[in-house]
Amino acid sequence: MSTFRHDGLARVKVRVMTPSRIRVARPRAVTLAIVAVLGLAGAAGLGALATTGPAVLPQGITGNPGVHPVSGRTIANVMSHAGADWLDRPERESEERPDRAVAALGLEPGAVVADLGAGSGYFTVRLARRVGPSGRVFAADIQPEMLSLLRTRLEREALSNVELVQSAEDDPRLPPRTFDLILMVDVYHELARPQLILSKLLASLKPGGRLVLLEYRKEDPAVPIRPEHKMSVAEARLELEAEGFQLDRVDSSLPRQHILIFRPAR
């Protein structure tokens, strides 16, 4: 899972201009407390995602799940930076077809996109290439450790059109009326405060912009992921339409995930 949601309030914003020029806004002193909390999170056990079979179990599952007040869905535990290797596992190519997923978004060169819960940047780099030098990607995550991994990845890939934003549990910290598309890959089901986050994302979209969720299909029992880490189309529609979005379409072309495309309700 990508990790948008964890305990923390500090902000780090990194503007990646070139591999040789990186400017970091120092986080506030509260970062020390965040790191301590995340250290405890990283010590948590395995096994929150996969149930049986060959799926690799990520490390660092933690959190205090609640229940969504609209749908009654159990909010999933979250994965800390200790599970970052799982995000880049080689078999993810065949399990999720990420290039096919990005192609399905229909992004044009010059688009402005947010990767919310970017983790180590598995999708960020694909989005950055898709929108090209004239486009921009805001890669947001709550964990500074994930942003550090992503910064290293961007340097390695020589991508200069990505900005890193450290978000908070109750605020993605994305600018208003900026984005053609906001993407969350296996993230929405873990949001601790989904209603509040959705209200802020709605304000961050341009008129006609899209919010896209990639979520493991709960309707398919063959998908080897625990039920709380899946979402059905009905659940997603119920929750997002209650917060000012409308379901535009569902793309079912991926092996295990829905591509759920929402737009602001008229």
Residue with tokens 């992503």: 150
Q: What is the pTM of this model?
A: 0.78
Q: What's the rounded Cα separation, in Å, for the pair 196 and 163?
A: 23
Helix, strand, coil tally for the chain in percent (to 5): 30, 25, 45
Single-letter residue type at 139: A
Determine contact, residues 189/233, Cβ cutoff 8 Å. Answer: no
Domain ranges of the chain: 13-264
- Residue 38's pLDDT is 30
- Residue 157's pLDDT is 96
Please, which residues have CB within 8 angstroms of residue 56's CB and are 6 or more apart in sequence?
50, 86, 89, 91
Q: ∠ at Cα 246 (71, 132), nearest 5°?
A: 115
What is the DSSP pairing of strand 13-18 with strand 112-116? unpaired
Give counts: helices (H), strands (E), the chain. Answer: 8, 11
CB atoms within 10 A of CB 219: 11
Report the mean per-residue pLDDT for the chain.
81
Q: Residue 113 pLDDT > 90, yes or no?
A: yes
Q: Residue 3 pLDDT > 50, yes or no?
A: no
What is the DSSP pairing of strand 78-79 with strand 61-62? antiparallel
- 200, two tokens: 């802020």
- Residue 77's pLDDT is 80
pLDDT in tens, 52-86: 333 333 433 344 459 999 999 999 987 778 888 88
pLDDT in tens, 176-208: 999 999 999 999 999 999 999 999 999 999 999
Please, which residues have CB within 8 angstroms of residue 21's CB and are 6 or more apart in sequence?
none
Distance between first and last Cα of the chain: 32
> Under CATH, what is the fold of the domain 13-264?
Rossmann fold (3.40.50)
For the residues of 138-169, what is the DSSP string, one character each?
Answer: EEEES-HHHHHHHHHHHHHHT--SEEEEE-BT
